[in-house]
Structure 1
Amino acid sequence: MGRSTSSALIGGGIAIVAALAIMPYLLDERFFYHIAILVCFAAIGASSLHLIIRTGHVSLCHAAFIGVGAYVSANVVMKLGFPFVGGLVAGTLAAAGLGLMIGPVILRLTGKYFVLITFLFGEILRMVFVDWQSITGGANGLSGIPAPAPVFAEPKYFYALALLAATACVAVCGRILSSETGRFVNAIRESEQLTECVGVPVIRTKVMIFVIACGFAGFAGALIAHYARYISPPNFGPLESLNLVIMNVIGGMQTLVGPLLGAIFLVLVPEFLRGYVQLQHIMFGVILILVMAFLPAGVVGVKDWVARRMIPHDRRGEQ
């Protein structure tokens, strides 16, 4: 039942995501386009972080890499006069390059040490964003960032761009995880020592995955900058990194569908709770505790959770 259940869950998750993807065009309201664009950005961030999580690490500086992509793209377009595509490429490469610089060092750490060092690195980058005023605008941020093209100033058309970008990012992440590299990644998560003993280059594989994930984070940051037209340091702090982790936890960390469902949940719920701003963080905390306590596999594990409670104990061995 495990394999068929997993396939059904993945198929159901894809169907839900596809339905939600076309819904803004059916509703055809500016507000819904805006929310859908935010979901696309969150999906890119959460799915790219999912690559790192699958190696057995939890990074708390992923939003800082999004910030690197955002600031680099904005400066390349505004100060150097490059077109949007040039800024997008520059932001992606800058984040990936920074990941390549620190990856070989921090990826040798595990558990709480890795979490702590990524949190500190994210804080360092946030302070750089605040203090480097000539590039980042300091605490006031950067404003007046141009749209990718005049037509994309309209959310209806920017959503098409964001949806295409999110689809491409998730497709690449899925291809990586389903390839031989993905099998290496799963083996590394289970046991680094054993995986290294069978000839898998553990550090090199982890660094490669980390660089790809950071590159996608920078890619998302460039899109965010040219959509919001304004960026500031609080947009890329530890809380935003933590939200990306929560998306993976709530959706499920064992499959790529998990962060997509988590992204949808974490973007939509605050809109439904807009009248209860003071209670949002409390409710998120309660939801997270309940998911971790009763659904360790996340939302994608609901069907298995229900099945385990509906099938009698003496019949579970037959499934």
Structure 2
Amino acid sequence: MTIEAVNGAAPVLRFQSVRIMPAVVLVAVAAVLPLVTGESFLLYIATLVAIYAIGAMSIHLIFRVGQFSLGQAAFMGVGGYTSSLLTTNLEMSWWAALVAGAAASALTGAVVGPVVLRLKGVYFVLFTFTFGEFVRQIFVDWTNVTNGSEGISGIAAPPAFSSPTGFYYLVLGFAILTAVICGRLLVSQFGDAVDAIRESEGLALSNGVPVFKVKIIVFVIACALVGIQGSLQASFVHYISPLSYGFAESLKLVVINVIGGLNSLWGPILGAIFIVALPELLRSWVDYQWVLYGLALILLMRYLPGGLFDLGELLRNLSKKTRREK
């Protein structure tokens, strides 16, 4: 399965770079949010959104080379378990454990990447899904290290960021850093090679693009970033278990990108806001929460098949049509 299959019969679009002004506005709003909401439920939701935005941007890189992964939760788990075990069992510094978690995820990606990236289409999807379940089963069975199904509790946040507001700003900083890394990568000459591979791997290869090398680099970077998400999420909820890194987590990162839009780095950011925040905000209507959530997804896919990123273009077209009718 390729990205084109996800988008249906729509033609392959050229990816658009992140515009600076909307990004500045979004960062400004995010920065003042705790001053408006205080340490409330809304701040909890905003922290979750920022955490998932990191993982969603990581898998966006894999989408950019035309692959469809269902195993990102495995690398998230490697990062989360590594950092959690180092801080709880060995009392390592939180920052050193975070780096170790990201490095462990990247190393796992570097080992798995040369194998899985030789596969294409449905075989790539099946391999990543199987690998994700294999890693999750390791977390269950390796009880001497991971504590099995009972998981690990008492995972602390860094002392300087232990308050809800402090941890929110920490996660926001990592989300911004991830967006900058991904954005700079994708608008560089390396990003041109990535887009060339997505549009036509054979043509890119014939023009001298080292296709396999580029794919491995992208895959390893994506694994390192999602490993950081795993570490941050573990410190946020103070607990992890094999269930934290199941297939549902991998699928959630995919859905975030599809709903947000696959044609821009804005897609995973907008998708994270929608997919993570909406179910939490609908908790007040507990009897109808998932019905309303499902209805919202259906309407979104019906009227914005290109994702939330297309909303701006839709509004501009409606505005032009209204002016013409007048």
State the TM-score, normalizing by the size of structure 1: 0.89
Structure 2 counterpart SS, 1:146: coil
Matching residue of 1:3:
none
Matching residue of 2:264:
255
2:83 matches 1:77: no
- CA drift at 1:9: 7.0
Matching residue of 1:222:
231
Aligned partner (choices 8, 19, 23) of residue 33 of structure 2:
23
Aligned partner (choices 79, 90, 97) of residue 87 of structure 1:
97
2:160 matches 1:141: no
Amino acid at match of 2:98: L
Cα deviations by residue, 1:247-281 (Å, 9 ceiling, x for unpaired): 11111111111110111111210112114456555
- TM-aligned CA distance change 1:18 to 1:42, over 3 Å: farther
2:60/2:262 contact within 8 Å kept: yes
State the TM-score, normalizing by the size of structure 2: 0.87
Distance 2:17 2:96 in 1: 39
Larger deviation: 299-308 or 180-189?
Answer: 299-308
Structure 2 counterpart SS, 1:26: helix
2:277 matches 1:268: yes
Matching residue of 2:13:
none
Matching residue of 2:116:
106
- CA drift at 1:292: 3.7
Amino acid at match of 2:185: I
Q: How does 1:263-302 map to 2 (within 5 A)?
A: 263-277=272-286, 279-302=288-311
Cα deviations by residue, 1:186-215 (Å, 9 ceiling, x for unpaired): 110000000000000101101100000000
Matching residue of 1:63:
73
- TM-aligned CA distance change 1:269 to 1:48, over 3 Å: same
Structure 2 counterpart SS, 1:273: helix
Matching residue of 2:244:
235
- CA drift at 1:26: 1.9
Aligned pairs, number: 307
Amino acid at match of 1:99: G
Structure 1 counterpart SS, 2:79: helix
- TM-aligned CA distance change 1:240 to 1:26, over 3 Å: same
- CA drift at 1:237: 0.8
Structure with greater proportional helix content = 1
- Moved segments of 4+, more than 6 Å: 6-10
Distance 2:46 2:246 in 1: 22
Matching residue of 2:196:
187
Question: Which residues of structure 2 form unaligned runs of 5+?
Answer: 1-15
Larger deviation: 225-234 or 185-194?
Answer: 225-234
Matching residue of 2:136:
126
1:13/1:257 contact within 8 Å kept: no
Matching residue of 1:158:
167
Matching residue of 2:313:
304
Matching residue of 2:178:
169
Structure 1 counterpart SS, 2:230: helix
- TM-aligned CA distance change 1:112 to 1:34, over 3 Å: same
1:9/1:300 contact within 8 Å kept: no
1:30/1:156 contact within 8 Å kept: no
Cα deviations by residue, 1:23-42 (Å, 9 ceiling, x for unpaired): 22222133232222111111
Distance 1:291 1:115 in 2: 25
Distance 2:46 2:132 in 1: 27
RMSD of aligned alpha carbons? 2.2
Cα deviations by residue, 1:126-174 (Å, 9 ceiling, x for unpaired): 111111112211111101122212x422111111111111111111011
- TM-aligned CA distance change 1:303 to 1:9, over 3 Å: farther
Structure 2 counterpart SS, 1:253: coil
1:50/1:256 contact within 8 Å kept: yes
